Amino acid sequence: MHKITSIFLVKLSLVLLITFFCFLNERLIAQQSNQFSDDLSLYGTSWKLVEIESMSDEVGTLNIENSSSYIMDLWPDGNVTMQLNCKFVNGNWQAKTAADGKSGTFEFSPLAATLPSCPPPAYDERFLSQAEFVRGFIIKDDQLYLSLMADGGIYRWEFTGSLIRTPEEGGPQNWIIPSETDLLKEPDASAPVVMTYTEGMILDNLGCQELSSDIWCDAQELGGGPRGFVQANNLRPAISPDGSIFKGPDHSAMRAGKDDFDASGTVACSFNSDKPMGKCNYGVSRSGGGYATVAILKPDGNKRFIYFQMGIPIGANTSQANGYPSLKTEIKEDRHIILLNNETYEIPGAVVLGG
């Protein structure tokens, strides 16, 4: 009997010991998995490159004098957009934060860039060739340090502000819908649906606000339409026809009204459908990203202003005297055909975008 009790106690001890080690192992795994979490402090932030620190004594530290030409935007949905010298770059990013909340892992997906080459110095080429090796980050005093694997170097970026801003505050002029989403009447997930946006639709950025940990953006379709709210994680910055993301206010109409033009010349025009096209003098004021105002001098001495957004004609300076005629447009090869009552204009895309 004593022998049986001893065997039982030994077996029980083994079971308890195994159970303890299993519990301890689960705790260790849990601690390791909780060591890093999604980094929220980087979501929706904009940075400019100010320094490259190379581990090579021959290269040393490179100070970026024209740092405003090297901008990185980390969007809340994991999209990253950059201006690197003359290049515009698009891709994805992800970060995990350590327990200190100020450091962690950081990686880029393969990045796609426009334009093959830029004027020197070629910091854009250096970063694009090394972006795939970025593995970590540290935030300190509004500085973001992105480190390369195997102590390959450090890119230091300076915080420039939040991306969830109105254009007047330096935010993007337009959003694009990456997948079907609803426009809601109020900034609330339970609010009535105004309409459903389909993938690829371009919206005007009318400002965003944070409510109950969610960011809601006031928006409407490019050129006009019902106005409502969309969650920021359902939006991406719209890329203009020239490959850029246009940020900031559009002053092209104001400049064109003052004859402050970036270029001038002649465009084909007609004021009678029964007569062949003639030539009219024009001046164009550009804000960038396809935002421009084309001022065309009419035979009567008045000016017809055609307004473009994202490279698309969206309006003109019509008046009650001519019945506020609607603008009709079509694209023929590389030209915008503008129809406005008996007026016809042919405006090449290069006039709007430049180049």
Sign of the alpha-carbon torsion through 256, 258, 262, 268: positive
pLDDT of 200 over the 80 cut: yes
Which of the following CATH numbers is that of domain 45-162: 1.10.357.140, 3.40.50.2020, 2.40.128.270, 3.40.309.10? Answer: 2.40.128.270
**Short-list 308, 309, 297, 307, CA closest to 343:** 297
pLDDT digits (tens, 9 = 90+) for 99-115: 887 899 999 999 998 87
- Report the distance separating Cα 103 and Cα 116, nearest Å: 34
According to CATH, the topology of domain 167-237 is SH3 type barrels. (2.30.30)
Sign of the alpha-carbon torsion through 126, 132, 138, 144: positive
pLDDT of 49 over the 60 cut: yes
pLDDT band at 272 (very low <50, low <70, confident <90, very high): confident
Residue 9 neighbours by CB distance under 10 Å = 10
pLDDT digits (tens, 9 = 90+) for 229-251: 999 888 888 888 887 788 889 99
Which range of 46-60, 107-121, 183-197, 207-221 scores highest in mean pLDDT? It is: 183-197
Instruction: Report CA Rg, the chain.
Output: 28
Kindly report the three-state secondary structure assignment for every residue of 219-265: EEECCCCCEEEEEHHHCEECCCCCCCCCECCCCHHHHHHCCCCCEEE
